[in-house]
Amino acid sequence: MPTIRAFYCSFTTIAVVAALSGGVTGVAGAATATTEATCSQADLPLPDPTCTPGALNPDVTQSTIGSTICVSGWTATIRPSTSYTNKLKVQGITDYGYSDTSLSDYEEDHFLPLELGGAPKDPKNLWPEPHSGSENSYSKDSVENAVKKAVCAKKATLTAAQHAMLTDWTTAESVLGIG
């Protein structure tokens, strides 16, 4: 009787052979993306919530914002090195099935920003955000700054801000009533 692993390997081999032989319909180059991608690009400019759900930094709470995120330069003290994030970026480009594999065309972005209490090194909070094209026409950085400013000015709670950013950062300002 075949093992589950043997079945999985056989199934994967069949899928790859079918894709490479034209048995999978779609756009040119889809065979490569189909066999390698494990994350969807369907929600861009947001990441795939299954692959990148976001993660919290336990050091950042409503009671600690005065000594963490609301201190100028604090995020620089916790930002991971590019030697760490570039490894994740390479894997993420594969996971998301991006046809452009140039590292410089992506920012290894914290889905929940560091300045709003996002986990610095948790892979669930990091993803390769495309720099160019219509996928990134909305500026996430300006939203992050506006939301952080509102939290520090006590116009929004940290929890509400985090929820708004993780739900859909493109609408976070309007959801929080700050934009």
**What's the chain look like in SS3?**
CCCHHHHHHHHHHHHHHHHHCCCCCCCCCHHHHHHHCCCCCCCCCCCCCCCCCCCECCCCCHHHHHHCCCCCCHHHHCCCCHHHHHHHHHHHHHHCCCCCCCHHHEEEEECCCHHHCECCCCHHHEEEEECCCHHHCCCHHHHHHHHHHHHHCCCCCHHHHHHHHHHHHHHHHHHHCCC
Q: 8: pLDDT confidence band, cut at 50, 70 and 90? A: very low
Q: Measure the CA–CA gap between 112 and 133, rounded to whole angstroms.
A: 22
The predicted pLDDT at position 179 comes to 78
Average pLDDT, integer, range 91-115: 96
Cβ neighbours of residue 26 closer than 8 Å, sequence gap 6 or more: 34
**Cβ atoms 147, 167 nearer than 8 A:** no
> In this model, does residue 18 exceed pLDDT 90?
no
Looking at residue 133, its pLDDT comes to 54
Spatial contact of 151 and 114, defined as CB atoms under 8 Å apart: no
Average pLDDT, the chain: 83
Residue 158 CB coordination number (10 Å): 23
Domain boundaries, the chain: 1-36, 39-176
Average pLDDT over residues 79-94: 97
Q: Are 124 and 53 in contact (CB under 8 A)?
A: yes
